[in-house]
Amino acid sequence: MLSAIKQNDAAVFDLIEAEQARQGISIRMIPSENYVSRAVMQATGSCLTNKYAEGYPGKRYYEGQQMTDAIENLARDRAKALFGAEAANVQPHSGSPANLATYCALAEPGSTIMGLALPHGGHLTHGWKVSFTGKFFNSVQYELNAETGRMDYDAIAKLAKEHKPQILISGSSAYPREIDFSKFAEIAESVGAYHVSDMAHIAGLVAGKQHMSPVPYSDVVTTTTHKTLRGPRGGMILCKEEHAAAINKAVFPGMQGGPHMHTISALAIALGEAAAPEFADYAAQIVANAKRLADKLMGYGFDLVSGGTDNHLILIDLRNKGLVGKPLAKAMDKAHLVCNYNSVPGDTAGPFNPSGLRLGTPAITTRGMKEDQMDLVAGWINTIAENLEDDAVISKVAREVQDLCNQFPLPESFIQPG
Protein backbone atom coordinates (compact mmCIF):
# COMPACT_ATOMS: atom_id res chain seq x y z
CA MET A 1 0.00 0.00 0.00
CA LEU A 2 2.92 2.36 0.67
CA SER A 3 5.15 1.65 -2.32
CA ALA A 4 4.08 4.76 -4.25
CA ILE A 5 4.67 6.96 -1.19
CA LYS A 6 8.14 5.47 -0.77
CA GLN A 7 8.93 6.21 -4.39
CA ASN A 8 7.53 9.74 -4.46
CA ASP A 9 8.23 11.16 -1.00
CA ALA A 10 10.75 9.39 1.20
CA ALA A 11 10.32 11.86 4.08
CA VAL A 12 6.59 11.17 4.44
CA PHE A 13 7.11 7.46 3.86
CA ASP A 14 9.63 7.26 6.69
CA LEU A 15 7.25 9.01 9.09
CA ILE A 16 4.34 6.75 8.17
CA GLU A 17 6.52 3.67 8.55
CA ALA A 18 7.66 4.89 11.96
CA GLU A 19 4.08 5.47 13.07
CA GLN A 20 3.04 2.06 11.79
CA ALA A 21 5.85 0.48 13.79
CA ARG A 22 4.88 2.47 16.89
CA GLN A 23 1.28 1.29 16.66
CA GLY A 24 2.43 -2.28 16.23
CA ILE A 25 4.53 -2.39 19.41
CA SER A 26 2.19 -0.28 21.57
CA ILE A 27 -0.78 -1.15 23.74
CA ARG A 28 -2.98 1.72 22.65
CA MET A 29 -5.53 2.64 25.31
CA ILE A 30 -6.75 6.05 24.21
CA PRO A 31 -10.51 5.35 24.27
CA SER A 32 -11.16 7.18 21.00
CA GLU A 33 -8.54 5.20 19.06
CA ASN A 34 -8.84 1.85 17.35
CA TYR A 35 -7.59 -0.16 14.40
CA VAL A 36 -9.59 -0.46 11.18
CA SER A 37 -9.64 -3.34 8.75
CA ARG A 38 -7.49 -3.29 5.66
CA ALA A 39 -10.67 -2.90 3.59
CA VAL A 40 -11.63 0.29 5.45
CA MET A 41 -8.10 1.64 5.13
CA GLN A 42 -7.92 0.92 1.42
CA ALA A 43 -11.25 2.63 0.79
CA THR A 44 -9.99 5.83 2.41
CA GLY A 45 -7.13 5.85 -0.09
CA SER A 46 -9.22 4.90 -3.12
CA CYS A 47 -10.05 6.86 -6.29
CA LEU A 48 -13.00 8.38 -4.45
CA THR A 49 -10.46 10.83 -3.01
CA ASN A 50 -10.57 12.41 -6.47
CA LYS A 51 -14.35 13.00 -6.48
CA TYR A 52 -16.35 16.07 -5.56
CA ALA A 53 -20.01 15.42 -4.75
CA GLU A 54 -21.65 18.56 -3.36
CA GLY A 55 -25.28 17.98 -2.51
CA TYR A 56 -27.10 14.73 -1.77
CA PRO A 57 -27.85 11.61 -3.84
CA GLY A 58 -30.08 12.56 -6.75
CA LYS A 59 -29.55 16.26 -6.00
CA ARG A 60 -25.88 16.88 -6.73
CA TYR A 61 -24.43 20.09 -8.12
CA TYR A 62 -21.85 18.29 -10.28
CA GLU A 63 -22.22 15.59 -12.90
CA GLY A 64 -20.65 12.14 -12.86
CA GLN A 65 -22.29 11.08 -9.59
CA GLN A 66 -23.58 7.65 -10.57
CA MET A 67 -21.21 5.80 -8.24
CA THR A 68 -21.09 8.37 -5.47
CA ASP A 69 -24.88 8.37 -5.20
CA ALA A 70 -24.91 4.58 -4.91
CA ILE A 71 -22.15 4.60 -2.29
CA GLU A 72 -23.76 7.28 -0.13
CA ASN A 73 -27.16 5.59 -0.33
CA LEU A 74 -25.55 2.29 0.68
CA ALA A 75 -23.87 3.91 3.69
CA ARG A 76 -27.11 5.62 4.75
CA ASP A 77 -29.15 2.45 4.38
CA ARG A 78 -26.63 0.43 6.38
CA ALA A 79 -26.54 3.07 9.13
CA LYS A 80 -30.33 3.10 9.42
CA ALA A 81 -30.52 -0.69 9.49
CA LEU A 82 -27.70 -1.12 12.02
CA PHE A 83 -29.06 1.42 14.50
CA GLY A 84 -32.79 1.27 13.74
CA ALA A 85 -32.94 4.93 12.71
CA GLU A 86 -35.54 6.56 10.51
CA ALA A 87 -33.04 8.80 8.71
CA ALA A 88 -29.26 9.16 8.44
CA ASN A 89 -26.78 11.74 7.21
CA VAL A 90 -23.29 10.33 6.60
CA GLN A 91 -21.64 13.51 5.33
CA PRO A 92 -20.31 15.23 8.51
CA HIS A 93 -16.53 15.40 8.39
CA SER A 94 -16.30 14.58 12.10
CA GLY A 95 -18.31 14.52 15.31
CA SER A 96 -17.91 18.18 16.19
CA PRO A 97 -19.44 19.51 12.93
CA ALA A 98 -22.18 16.92 13.34
CA ASN A 99 -23.02 18.33 16.75
CA LEU A 100 -22.96 21.95 15.63
CA ALA A 101 -25.06 21.19 12.55
CA THR A 102 -27.61 19.45 14.78
CA TYR A 103 -27.87 22.38 17.17
CA CYS A 104 -28.26 24.78 14.25
CA ALA A 105 -31.00 22.58 12.76
CA LEU A 106 -33.03 22.51 15.97
CA ALA A 107 -32.38 25.91 17.57
CA GLU A 108 -31.64 29.53 16.79
CA PRO A 109 -28.38 31.26 17.74
CA GLY A 110 -28.52 32.30 21.38
CA SER A 111 -30.95 29.53 22.33
CA THR A 112 -30.25 27.61 25.52
CA ILE A 113 -28.55 24.24 25.23
CA MET A 114 -27.72 21.99 28.17
CA GLY A 115 -24.95 19.39 28.27
CA LEU A 116 -22.51 17.64 30.56
CA ALA A 117 -19.64 19.86 31.74
CA LEU A 118 -16.26 19.05 30.21
CA PRO A 119 -14.46 18.43 33.56
CA HIS A 120 -17.20 15.94 34.43
CA GLY A 121 -16.81 13.92 31.25
CA GLY A 122 -18.66 15.95 28.65
CA HIS A 123 -17.33 17.04 25.27
CA LEU A 124 -16.19 20.48 24.17
CA THR A 125 -19.11 20.66 21.75
CA HIS A 126 -21.68 20.03 24.47
CA GLY A 127 -21.56 23.74 25.22
CA TRP A 128 -18.24 24.14 27.01
CA LYS A 129 -17.15 27.79 27.26
CA VAL A 130 -14.07 27.59 25.00
CA SER A 131 -16.02 25.81 22.25
CA PHE A 132 -17.92 27.63 19.54
CA THR A 133 -21.02 25.86 20.85
CA GLY A 134 -20.54 27.60 24.21
CA LYS A 135 -20.25 30.97 22.51
CA PHE A 136 -22.88 30.63 19.79
CA PHE A 137 -25.52 29.32 22.20
CA ASN A 138 -26.51 30.07 25.78
CA SER A 139 -24.97 27.07 27.48
CA VAL A 140 -26.04 25.50 30.78
CA GLN A 141 -23.85 22.69 32.10
CA TYR A 142 -24.88 19.84 34.39
CA GLU A 143 -22.39 17.87 36.50
CA LEU A 144 -21.96 14.39 37.97
CA ASN A 145 -22.95 13.60 41.51
CA ALA A 146 -19.96 14.53 43.67
CA GLU A 147 -20.27 11.43 45.86
CA THR A 148 -21.02 8.74 43.31
CA GLY A 149 -19.32 10.10 40.18
CA ARG A 150 -22.47 9.19 38.24
CA MET A 151 -25.25 10.98 36.40
CA ASP A 152 -27.74 12.52 38.83
CA TYR A 153 -30.94 12.46 36.80
CA ASP A 154 -32.97 14.24 39.47
CA ALA A 155 -30.46 17.09 39.55
CA ILE A 156 -30.42 17.23 35.74
CA ALA A 157 -34.22 17.39 35.69
CA LYS A 158 -34.20 20.21 38.26
CA LEU A 159 -31.66 22.20 36.23
CA ALA A 160 -33.63 21.64 33.03
CA LYS A 161 -36.83 22.83 34.70
CA GLU A 162 -35.04 25.98 35.85
CA HIS A 163 -33.42 26.87 32.52
CA LYS A 164 -35.82 25.26 30.00
CA PRO A 165 -33.25 24.49 27.31
CA GLN A 166 -34.19 24.21 23.66
CA ILE A 167 -31.82 21.24 23.40
CA LEU A 168 -30.89 18.73 26.12
CA ILE A 169 -27.68 16.86 25.26
CA SER A 170 -26.85 13.40 26.55
CA GLY A 171 -23.61 11.56 25.90
CA SER A 172 -20.03 12.02 27.01
CA SER A 173 -16.35 11.69 26.19
CA ALA A 174 -15.08 10.52 29.58
CA TYR A 175 -17.94 8.89 31.48
CA PRO A 176 -17.36 5.24 32.42
CA ARG A 177 -20.95 4.26 33.18
CA GLU A 178 -23.97 3.36 31.08
CA ILE A 179 -26.21 6.30 30.26
CA ASP A 180 -29.97 5.92 30.67
CA PHE A 181 -31.20 7.68 27.56
CA SER A 182 -34.82 7.00 28.47
CA LYS A 183 -34.45 9.28 31.51
CA PHE A 184 -32.99 12.03 29.36
CA ALA A 185 -35.95 11.65 27.01
CA GLU A 186 -38.35 12.07 29.93
CA ILE A 187 -36.55 15.18 31.15
CA ALA A 188 -36.49 16.68 27.66
CA GLU A 189 -40.20 16.03 27.16
CA SER A 190 -41.05 17.56 30.53
CA VAL A 191 -39.50 20.91 29.55
CA GLY A 192 -40.32 20.87 25.83
CA ALA A 193 -36.71 20.35 24.75
CA TYR A 194 -35.25 18.37 21.90
CA HIS A 195 -33.18 15.42 23.10
CA VAL A 196 -29.87 15.18 21.25
CA SER A 197 -27.60 12.26 22.11
CA ASP A 198 -23.92 12.16 21.26
CA MET A 199 -22.96 8.46 21.16
CA ALA A 200 -19.54 9.00 19.57
CA HIS A 201 -17.69 6.92 22.15
CA ILE A 202 -20.20 4.11 22.50
CA ALA A 203 -21.54 3.70 18.95
CA GLY A 204 -19.79 0.35 18.59
CA LEU A 205 -21.15 -0.82 21.93
CA VAL A 206 -24.64 0.21 20.85
CA ALA A 207 -24.24 -1.63 17.53
CA GLY A 208 -22.94 -4.66 19.43
CA LYS A 209 -25.86 -4.59 21.91
CA GLN A 210 -23.62 -3.81 24.89
CA HIS A 211 -25.15 -0.43 25.72
CA MET A 212 -28.65 1.02 25.65
CA SER A 213 -29.32 2.59 22.27
CA PRO A 214 -30.16 6.30 22.31
CA VAL A 215 -31.94 6.11 18.96
CA PRO A 216 -35.47 5.24 20.24
CA TYR A 217 -35.25 7.97 22.90
CA SER A 218 -33.71 10.84 20.93
CA ASP A 219 -34.81 13.35 18.34
CA VAL A 220 -31.29 13.30 16.92
CA VAL A 221 -28.25 11.11 17.58
CA THR A 222 -24.77 12.22 16.54
CA THR A 223 -21.64 10.13 16.43
CA THR A 224 -18.17 9.81 15.10
CA THR A 225 -17.56 6.82 12.89
CA HIS A 226 -14.30 5.57 14.40
CA LYS A 227 -13.70 4.86 18.12
CA THR A 228 -15.62 1.71 19.16
CA LEU A 229 -17.46 1.60 15.81
CA ARG A 230 -14.10 0.85 14.16
CA GLY A 231 -14.64 2.85 10.98
CA PRO A 232 -12.85 5.74 9.25
CA ARG A 233 -12.39 9.15 10.82
CA GLY A 234 -15.70 10.87 10.16
CA GLY A 235 -19.11 11.79 11.54
CA MET A 236 -22.73 10.71 11.18
CA ILE A 237 -26.17 11.92 12.25
CA LEU A 238 -29.19 9.69 12.85
CA CYS A 239 -32.59 11.26 13.40
CA LYS A 240 -36.32 10.97 13.27
CA GLU A 241 -37.72 11.50 9.78
CA GLU A 242 -39.38 14.76 10.84
CA HIS A 243 -35.96 16.31 11.42
CA ALA A 244 -34.19 14.90 8.36
CA ALA A 245 -34.71 17.87 6.05
CA ALA A 246 -33.49 20.37 8.66
CA ILE A 247 -30.48 18.20 9.52
CA ASN A 248 -29.53 17.75 5.86
CA LYS A 249 -29.77 21.49 5.23
CA ALA A 250 -27.69 22.27 8.32
CA VAL A 251 -24.92 19.90 7.19
CA PHE A 252 -24.99 21.09 3.58
CA PRO A 253 -24.94 23.93 2.76
CA GLY A 254 -25.02 25.08 6.37
CA MET A 255 -21.77 23.61 7.69
CA GLN A 256 -19.87 21.99 4.81
CA GLY A 257 -19.31 21.91 1.10
CA GLY A 258 -18.47 18.66 -0.62
CA PRO A 259 -18.59 15.44 1.38
CA HIS A 260 -15.53 13.20 1.61
CA MET A 261 -16.64 10.32 -0.56
CA HIS A 262 -13.56 8.21 0.19
CA THR A 263 -14.49 8.38 3.88
CA ILE A 264 -18.14 7.60 3.18
CA SER A 265 -17.14 4.55 1.14
CA ALA A 266 -14.99 3.36 4.06
CA LEU A 267 -17.89 4.01 6.42
CA ALA A 268 -20.17 1.83 4.28
CA ILE A 269 -17.64 -1.00 4.67
CA ALA A 270 -17.32 -0.48 8.42
CA LEU A 271 -21.09 -0.48 8.87
CA GLY A 272 -21.22 -3.76 6.99
CA GLU A 273 -18.56 -5.17 9.31
CA ALA A 274 -20.53 -3.95 12.34
CA ALA A 275 -23.60 -5.86 11.14
CA ALA A 276 -21.68 -9.15 11.12
CA PRO A 277 -22.16 -11.58 14.05
CA GLU A 278 -18.49 -11.28 15.04
CA PHE A 279 -18.94 -7.62 15.89
CA ALA A 280 -21.18 -8.39 18.85
CA ASP A 281 -18.47 -10.67 20.25
CA TYR A 282 -15.92 -7.87 19.84
CA ALA A 283 -18.19 -5.34 21.60
CA ALA A 284 -18.81 -7.73 24.49
CA GLN A 285 -15.08 -8.34 24.86
CA ILE A 286 -14.41 -4.59 24.98
CA VAL A 287 -16.63 -4.33 28.05
CA ALA A 288 -15.25 -7.49 29.64
CA ASN A 289 -11.71 -6.22 29.17
CA ALA A 290 -12.52 -2.82 30.63
CA LYS A 291 -14.19 -4.35 33.68
CA ARG A 292 -11.25 -6.70 34.29
CA LEU A 293 -8.72 -3.88 33.88
CA ALA A 294 -10.73 -1.66 36.23
CA ASP A 295 -10.94 -4.38 38.89
CA LYS A 296 -7.20 -5.03 38.74
CA LEU A 297 -6.34 -1.33 38.92
CA MET A 298 -8.54 -0.92 41.99
CA GLY A 299 -6.75 -3.92 43.46
CA TYR A 300 -3.53 -1.93 43.17
CA GLY A 301 -5.14 0.94 45.06
CA PHE A 302 -6.06 3.18 42.13
CA ASP A 303 -9.16 5.33 42.67
CA LEU A 304 -11.53 5.07 39.70
CA VAL A 305 -14.19 7.69 39.02
CA SER A 306 -17.58 6.09 39.84
CA GLY A 307 -15.76 3.05 41.23
CA GLY A 308 -15.46 1.13 37.98
CA THR A 309 -16.84 0.99 34.46
CA ASP A 310 -19.81 -0.27 32.42
CA ASN A 311 -18.37 0.47 29.00
CA HIS A 312 -15.03 0.77 27.21
CA LEU A 313 -13.58 3.53 29.33
CA ILE A 314 -11.79 3.90 32.67
CA LEU A 315 -11.07 7.22 34.37
CA ILE A 316 -8.43 7.11 37.11
CA ASP A 317 -8.31 9.80 39.80
CA LEU A 318 -4.64 9.84 40.80
CA ARG A 319 -4.93 12.20 43.76
CA ASN A 320 -4.95 9.42 46.35
CA LYS A 321 -1.61 8.27 44.90
CA GLY A 322 -0.08 11.73 45.12
CA LEU A 323 0.35 11.75 41.33
CA VAL A 324 -0.82 13.90 38.44
CA GLY A 325 -1.77 12.69 34.99
CA LYS A 326 0.79 14.18 32.63
CA PRO A 327 4.00 12.71 34.10
CA LEU A 328 2.42 9.28 34.43
CA ALA A 329 1.02 9.35 30.89
CA LYS A 330 4.42 10.32 29.50
CA ALA A 331 6.22 7.63 31.49
CA MET A 332 3.69 5.05 30.28
CA ASP A 333 4.20 6.21 26.70
CA LYS A 334 7.93 5.45 27.03
CA ALA A 335 6.87 1.92 27.95
CA HIS A 336 4.54 1.72 24.91
CA LEU A 337 1.40 1.99 27.07
CA VAL A 338 -0.47 4.82 25.36
CA CYS A 339 -3.28 6.70 27.10
CA ASN A 340 -4.13 10.33 27.84
CA TYR A 341 -4.08 12.51 30.92
CA ASN A 342 -7.53 13.87 31.70
CA SER A 343 -9.44 16.05 34.15
CA VAL A 344 -11.58 14.33 36.77
CA PRO A 345 -14.70 15.66 38.54
CA GLY A 346 -13.73 18.22 41.16
CA ASP A 347 -10.24 18.57 39.71
CA THR A 348 -8.43 21.68 40.93
CA ALA A 349 -5.43 21.15 38.65
CA GLY A 350 -5.31 22.77 35.22
CA PRO A 351 -6.24 20.96 31.99
CA PHE A 352 -2.60 20.72 30.87
CA ASN A 353 -1.56 18.73 33.94
CA PRO A 354 -4.78 17.36 35.42
CA SER A 355 -5.26 14.77 38.14
CA GLY A 356 -6.61 11.98 36.00
CA LEU A 357 -5.73 9.34 33.45
CA ARG A 358 -8.17 8.07 30.81
CA LEU A 359 -7.89 4.52 29.49
CA GLY A 360 -9.94 2.52 27.02
CA THR A 361 -10.04 -1.02 25.63
CA PRO A 362 -11.29 -0.80 21.99
CA ALA A 363 -7.91 -1.01 20.23
CA ILE A 364 -6.42 -3.72 22.41
CA THR A 365 -9.61 -5.76 22.03
CA THR A 366 -9.37 -5.46 18.26
CA ARG A 367 -5.90 -6.99 18.55
CA GLY A 368 -7.45 -10.01 20.25
CA MET A 369 -6.34 -9.36 23.81
CA LYS A 370 -8.60 -10.61 26.60
CA GLU A 371 -8.86 -10.68 30.39
CA ASP A 372 -5.51 -12.34 31.06
CA GLN A 373 -3.74 -9.61 29.15
CA MET A 374 -5.62 -6.95 31.13
CA ASP A 375 -4.03 -8.36 34.28
CA LEU A 376 -0.60 -7.74 32.75
CA VAL A 377 -1.52 -4.22 31.67
CA ALA A 378 -2.76 -3.29 35.14
CA GLY A 379 0.46 -4.61 36.67
CA TRP A 380 2.58 -2.61 34.26
CA ILE A 381 0.63 0.60 34.97
CA ASN A 382 1.14 0.08 38.68
CA THR A 383 4.86 -0.62 38.21
CA ILE A 384 5.35 2.58 36.24
CA ALA A 385 3.31 4.63 38.72
CA GLU A 386 5.66 3.42 41.47
CA ASN A 387 8.82 4.02 39.39
CA LEU A 388 8.19 7.21 37.43
CA GLU A 389 11.82 8.31 37.44
CA ASP A 390 13.42 4.89 36.99
CA ASP A 391 14.35 4.56 33.32
CA ALA A 392 15.58 0.99 33.79
CA VAL A 393 12.22 -0.16 35.13
CA ILE A 394 10.36 1.67 32.37
CA SER A 395 12.61 0.12 29.72
CA LYS A 396 12.00 -3.33 31.15
CA VAL A 397 8.24 -2.79 30.97
CA ALA A 398 8.60 -1.53 27.39
CA ARG A 399 10.31 -4.79 26.39
CA GLU A 400 7.59 -6.84 28.06
CA VAL A 401 4.86 -4.80 26.34
CA GLN A 402 6.53 -5.29 22.97
CA ASP A 403 6.78 -9.04 23.56
CA LEU A 404 3.05 -9.16 24.28
CA CYS A 405 2.20 -7.10 21.20
CA ASN A 406 4.21 -9.48 19.06
CA GLN A 407 1.85 -12.25 20.19
CA PHE A 408 -1.19 -10.30 18.95
CA PRO A 409 -0.64 -9.12 15.37
CA LEU A 410 -3.31 -6.95 13.86
CA PRO A 411 -6.04 -8.76 11.90
CA GLU A 412 -6.58 -7.63 8.34
CA SER A 413 -10.25 -8.55 8.32
CA PHE A 414 -12.89 -8.62 11.05
CA ILE A 415 -15.43 -10.76 9.18
CA GLN A 416 -14.82 -14.48 9.08
CA PRO A 417 -15.08 -16.01 5.58
CA GLY A 418 -18.22 -17.94 5.30
pLDDT digits (tens, 9 = 90+) for 287-319: 999 999 999 999 999 999 999 999 999 999 999
Burial profile 154-184: b = 16 or more Cβ within 10 angstroms, e = fewer: eebbebbeebebbbbbbbbbbbbbbbebebb
Cα separation, 128 vs 125, whole angstroms: 6
Does the annotation count 371 as an active-site position? no
User: Is pLDDT of 352 > 90?
Assistant: no
d(CA 32, CA 227): 4
189 is catalytic: no
Residue 251 DSSP label: I
Chain segment 161-216, per-residue pLDDT in tens: 999 999 999 999 999 999 999 999 999 999 999 999 999 999 999 999 999 999 99
The string of DSSP letters for 258-315 reads S--HHHHHHHHHHHHHHTSHHHHHHHHHHHHHHHHHHHHHHHTT-EEGGGS-SSSEEE
Question: What three-state secondary structure class fits 137?
Answer: coil
Q: How far apart are CA 216 and CA 73, in angstroms?
A: 22
Nearest residue to 175 via CA among 355, 325, 31, 328: 31
Identified catalytic residue from 68, 125, 224, 228: 224
Please give the helix or strand (H or E) that residue 123 lies within, else none: none
What's the confidence (pLDDT) of residue 417? Answer: 47
52-56, 93-97, 267-271, 345-349: least confident range = 345-349
User: Are the beta carbons of 248 and 221 closer than 8 angstroms?
Assistant: no
Which distant-in-sequence residues (6+ apart) come within 8 Å of 417 by Cβ? none
Question: CA-CA distance, 152 to 61, in Å (whole number)?
Answer: 48
Does the annotation count 77 as an active-site position? no
Q: What pLDDT was estimated at residue 416?
A: 55
What pLDDT, on a 0 to 100 scale, did the predictor assign at position 351? 82
Instruction: Please provide the average confidence, as pLDDT, over all residues in the chain.
Output: 96
Average pLDDT for residues 57-82, to the nearest whole number? 97
Among 233, 240, 321, 396, the one annotated catalytic: 233
Catalytic residue of the set 33, 38, 54, 371 = 54
- Decide: residue 93, CB within 10 A, 0-12 exposed, 13-18 middle, 19+ buried: middle
Residue 183, Cα to own-chain centre: how many angstroms? Answer: 22
Is the pTM higher than 0.85? The answer reads yes
Phi and psi at 12, nearest 5°, equal -70, -40
- Classify strands 220-224 and 235-239 as parallel, antiparallel or unpaired: antiparallel
Q: Please tell me which residue in 198, 273, 303, 310 is annotated as part of the active site.
A: 198
Is-catalytic flag, 224? yes
The predicted structure's pLDDT at residue 418: 42
Question: How far apart are the two ends of the chain, measured CA to CA in Å?
Answer: 26
Domains of the chain: 24-36+280-406 (3.90.1150.10), 42-274 (3.40.640.10)
pLDDT at position 247: 98
- Told to judge if 52 belongs to the known catalytic residues of this protein, a careful annotator would answer yes
Active-site residue, from 78, 227, 292, 367: 227
Q: Considering the candidates 52, 150, 152, 300, report the single residue annotated as catalytic.
A: 52
Are residues 215 and 83 in contact, defined by beta-carbon separation less than 8 angstroms? Answer: yes
Based on the residue annotation, tell me whether 54 is a catalytic residue of this protein: yes
